[in-house]
């Protein structure tokens, strides 16, 4: 008997790329799930509209999806869920938009930090250049992973982070869960708890999915199921075409 499973779509921050999700994607495939990893943006996005259009173009129409967003990509999940057949959303150490109204792509404190890095052309350095070497060593597990992540980065304009994005009305009532990696997004995790979402924390750093992809994959699936993700009875067969994007 054929297995029909929702597809898990992994969305990286627009500052980085699919390499941040690749090991977790492999782990999810090993669990028997069909996985789509959103590809890298062809060019650096200059506005939230550019990112939203790119992500919508990556997601199939009419297919049941579980969306998993990391970091800045979390701000796009409500808008994506309004346009696609999303059965559950998981925010993985990700930003949450405001319950109502527009949300800046970076909070005021982060904008103040970024203004110190912007060059005369209004461009920011690649994300990995925002941090010192000690921070990078703790964020990226090995040299090969670091090279892959660095190669996919764009230099975003400061205007991207001062722009705003408005989430659809009522988005907080949609099936969702929150997975934190330590306390980087403690306020967003607290918001998720207040909303009554399934919530969990893995002690780690912001790119923990690169350090323990199997653990992160298992926790994502557990939270997604709590939020409403359902699979058919296991037949012992692995679904074909399980990795995409």
Give 15-33 pLDDT, tens digit per residue.
999 999 999 999 999 999 9
Q: Which two tokens stand for residue 114?
A: 């970024």
List, in sequence order, the alpha helices (H) in the chain. Answer: 22-30, 48-58, 77-83, 108-115, 133-139, 143-151, 158-162, 186-194, 213-227
Tokens of 39: 């590809």
108 or 237, which is more confident: 108
Residue 2 clears pLDDT 90, i.e. is over it? no
Q: How many CB atoms lie within 10 A of CB 232?
A: 12
pLDDT tens-digit profile of 188-201?
999 999 999 999 99
Q: What is the pLDDT of residues 39-90, one digit of tens each?
A: 999 999 999 999 999 999 999 999 999 999 999 999 999 999 999 999 999 9
pLDDT at 35: 97
- How does strand 164-166 pair with strand 102-104? antiparallel
Residue 129 has what pLDDT?
Answer: 97
Q: Can you tell me the mean pLDDT for 202-227?
A: 97
Question: Token pair of 230, please?
Answer: 């359902």
Given a contact cutoff of 8 angstroms between Cβ atoms, the answer to whether 86 and 67 are in contact is yes
pLDDT category of residue 242 using cuts at 50, 70 and 90: very low
Averaged pLDDT for residues 113-121 = 96
> What pLDDT, on the 0 to 100 scale, is given for residue 5?
75
pLDDT band at 6 (very low <50, low <70, confident <90, very high): confident
CA distance 173 to 213: 29
- Is the model's pLDDT at 112 over the cut of 80? yes
Beta partners for 166? 102
Mean pLDDT over each residue of the chain, to the nearest integer: 92
**pTM (two decimals):** 0.92
Distance CA 174, CA 176 (A): 6
Judged by DSSP in three states, 69 sits in: strand
Q: Which pair of structure tokens corresponds to residue 84?
A: 């696609």
């Amino acid at each position: 008997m054929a297995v029909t499973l929702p597809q898990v779509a992994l969305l990286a921050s627009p500052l980085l790329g699919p390499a941040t999700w690749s090991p977790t994607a492999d782990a999810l495939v090993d669990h028997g799930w069909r996985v789509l990893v959103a590809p890298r943006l062809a060019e650096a996005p200059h506005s939230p509209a550019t990112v939203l259009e790119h992500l919508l173009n990556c997601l199939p129409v009419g297919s049941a999806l579980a969306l998993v967003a990391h970091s800045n990509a979390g701000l796009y999940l409500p808008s994506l869920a309004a346009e696609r057949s999303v059965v559950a959303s998981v925010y993985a150490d990700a930003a949450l938009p405001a319950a109502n109204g527009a949300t800046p792509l970076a909070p005021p404190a982060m904008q103040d930090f970024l203004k110190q890095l912007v060059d005369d052309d209004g461009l920011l350095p690649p994300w990995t250049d925002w941090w010192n070497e000690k921070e990078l060593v703790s964020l990226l597990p090995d040299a090969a992973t670091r090279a892959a992540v660095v190669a996919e980065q764009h230099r975003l304009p400061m205007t991207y982070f001062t722009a705003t994005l408005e989430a659809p009305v009522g988005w907080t009532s949609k099936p969702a869960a929150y997975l934190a990696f330590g306390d980087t997004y403690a306020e967003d995790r607290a918001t998720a708890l207040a909303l009554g979402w399934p919530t969990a924390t893995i002690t780690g750093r912001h790119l923990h999915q690169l350090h323990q992809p199997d653990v992160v994959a298992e926790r994502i699936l557990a939270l997604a199921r709590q939020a409403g993700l359902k699979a058919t009875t296991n037949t012992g067969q692995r679904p074909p075409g399980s990795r995409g994007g």
